[in-house]
Structure 1
Amino acid sequence: MTGTIRIVEVGPRDGLQNEAALVSPQVRIAFVEKLLAAGLKTIEVGSFVSPRWVPQMAGTDVVLTALGIRDGVNFPVLVPNEKGLDAALAAGAREIAIFTSASEAFSQKNINCSIAESIDRFRPVAERAHAAGIRVRGYVSCVLGCPSQGQVPPGDVVKVAAALAALGCYEISLGDTIGTGTPKKARDLVRAVSGVVPIECIAAHFHDTYGQALANLLAVIEDGVQTIDAAAGGLGGCPYAKGASGNVATEAVVYMLDGLGMRTDVNLSKLLDAVAFISGELGRPANSNVYRARRLSS
């Protein structure tokens, strides 16, 4: 297997926002710098949500402003509404992400509105972003299971993905939020979604609760997916799903892809330096077999 896989590093946002320990904007900036040193080119650096709801993301404007604009590097930020977009634009954002769910139950619990209402909420956000020359990425959560609803029909995911594509999202990230997916389900889902969204515009965002994330990623890569979301050190989790572990670890993805002969342009040793740094700041070991094998066993 050959080719290039684009990794979207989500540790500084999706990872840290679900960690119990708070880290300062300065620590987040240092973390991003270490990820950049490892060769990562797309790093989601924060979200412009209310600090009352997600205190870990307070100071995202400070982070984004400090990082600035760099050639060949993208620093997407999550925005929940037009107010969030205003803050993102003021901080110099060049790319934003919007998010909804394939599960009505999860949508109500997570963002207090229906799926249809969330799409309507994001329509003016996407329109204004495009008018300002800002790229828009779309997230769909609970694509392979929901903590409240259970099974999520693939047809529901297809409808939501199509709706986000209609808003002008250049890429749709499919999130196995609680990590219950298996390779066949992941492959079948991607095949269904690729009927309305080109395969090159689909990203895989898999959590590793059941230890299936790498197997699921391999299955969808074999079907043509070229973009993977991952978090250094396996940061994060889902606060709505009991026992749900974090995102698939970026270093595990890089190790697997290196073994497959696929190009990522990520230096594994430097990536592990970034993992060591943020784990030390959080005061806990990294949730990563690759990190333990390479750094803690020597």
Structure 2
Amino acid sequence: MILTLNNGVSMPALGFGVYQTPPDATAEAVQTALETGYRLIDTAAAYGNEREVGEAIRRSGLDRDEVFIETKVWISDFGHEETLHAFDKSSGKLGVDRIDLFILHQALPTRFDLTQGAYRALETLLSDGRVRAIGVSNFMPEHLDALMKEAGVVPAVNQVEVHPYFTQPEVQAADADRGIVTQAWSPIGGITSYRGTGAATSTFDDPVIVGIADAHGRTPAQVMLRWHLQEGRSAIPKSVRPERIAENFGVFDFDLTDAERAALDALDTGIRHGPDPRDITLEAYGSPIPEA
């Protein structure tokens, strides 16, 4: 399944994420994902595993144009010149001349001047052909409003926490109004497994999700990923286990009914499990990104 971004670039709707995957496990996991059929790989400078992602892509034997590479600029590298250099660091570690989707990892609301400068750098990289599309991550509607007061290019993607227990309808609406694809991190609610919701231990145990999965002969994870795809979102599940990597990719041969999708939508608790994007500061979250 392919999504067409607002600048005409095609992006696979289902990708493979490597958040918190240790560098020594990343190359094997990504190689397994590529062998399974994934063609979108999502990483970030702050993950510390860009080099291993690039290594796995080279090992795969796939042509560079067959793999859509997405990575993120950390807040410590915000600012126009700093973000241009962040591209050099990321592209060097990945071993590529061009990055398919380059996005800002957070909004940094207390220093939005740096956020604006970083986004101007993304626009420069896009104009120069060094990236194919640009975007943001964890941007709330007010961050998008502030960004677009100066930006000339609408972000193609906004990557945010979205799963059945936290759907962020106001963010999704703000994205849709601007033609921005909402991309879900923690799309199957893995983050709920270790941060209680009060509704169930985790999304994987929720009786509504389990019931829908049983009705289709699928797993809860497959139901949640299918829900994202049918609602027009991109999703980037992660795993280092080959059987789970394959399971998460097996979502293209069944459909949820409108009633089932509505039942999943209704599970929203309004409870965020990741950091609040409005609380991100350099003092609390800044960390230098190594040169190599």
Task: Report TM bin, short chain.
Answer: 0.5 to 0.7
Counterparts of 1:113-152 in structure 2, within 5 Å, are 114-141=111-138, 143=140
Q: Is the 8 A contact 1:140 1:161 kept in 2?
A: no
Matched, 1:198 2:179: yes
Distance 1:72 1:182 in 2: 32
Relative distance call for 1:83 and 1:71 in structure 2 (3 A) is closer
Specify every segment of 5 or more residues in structure 2 that has no aligned partner in the other structure, as ranges: 4-11, 75-82, 193-201, 205-220, 258-292
Specify every segment of 5 or more residues in structure 1 that has no aligned partner in the other structure, as ranges: 17-21, 144-154, 235-248, 263-298
Q: Is the 8 A contact 1:119 1:164 kept in 2?
A: yes
3, 6, 9: which one aligns with 2:15: 9
TM-score using structure 1 length: 0.52
Identical aligned pairs, as a percentage? 11
Matched, 1:159 2:121: no
Q: Is the 8 A contact 2:126 2:134 kept in 1?
A: no
26, 29, 32: which one aligns with 2:30: 32
- 77-86 vs 203-212, greater mean Cα deviation: 203-212
Deviation at 1:127, TM superposition (A): 0.7
One-letter amino acid matched to 2:66:
G
Q: Is the 8 A contact 1:181 1:216 kept in 2?
A: no
One-letter amino acid matched to 1:11:
G
What SS does structure 1 have at the residue aligned with 2:69? Answer: coil
Q: Report the counterpart of residue 39 of structure 2 in structure 1.
A: 41
One-letter amino acid matched to 2:185:
H
- Residues 105-124 of structure 1 deviation map (CA, whole Å, 9 limit, x = unaligned): xx37xxxx524422322312
Aligned length: 207
Distance 2:172 2:128 in 1: 30
Deviation at 1:160, TM superposition (A): 6.0
Instruction: Please provide the CA RMSD for this pair.
Output: 4.2
208, 212, 237: which one aligns with 1:230: 237
One-letter amino acid matched to 1:30:
E
One-letter amino acid matched to 1:92:
V
Distance 1:258 1:164 in 2: 43
One-letter amino acid matched to 1:35:
A
- 93-102 vs 122-131, greater mean Cα deviation: 93-102
- Residues 3-49 of structure 1 deviation map (CA, whole Å, 9 limit, x = unaligned): 7674443423x242xxxxx433xx533322211111111112x4445
Q: Is the 8 A contact 1:48 1:57 kept in 2?
A: yes
Q: Is the 8 A contact 2:13 2:229 kept in 1?
A: no
Distance 1:166 1:250 in 2: 38
Counterparts of 1:275-286 in structure 2, within 5 Å, are none
Matched, 1:74 2:68: yes
Matched, 1:85 2:112: no
Matched, 1:259 2:254: yes
One-letter amino acid matched to 2:183:
A
- Residues 71-109 of structure 1 deviation map (CA, whole Å, 9 limit, x = unaligned): 42212333342222123444324224222435xxxx37x
154, 158, 172: which one aligns with 1:173: 158
Relative distance call for 1:132 and 1:82 in structure 2 (3 A) is same
- Residues 237-280 of structure 1 deviation map (CA, whole Å, 9 limit, x = unaligned): xxxxxxxxxxxx86665455543279xxxxxxxxxxxxxxxxxx
Q: Is the 8 A contact 1:9 1:42 kept in 2?
A: yes
TM-score using structure 2 length: 0.53
Deviation at 1:133, TM superposition (A): 4.2
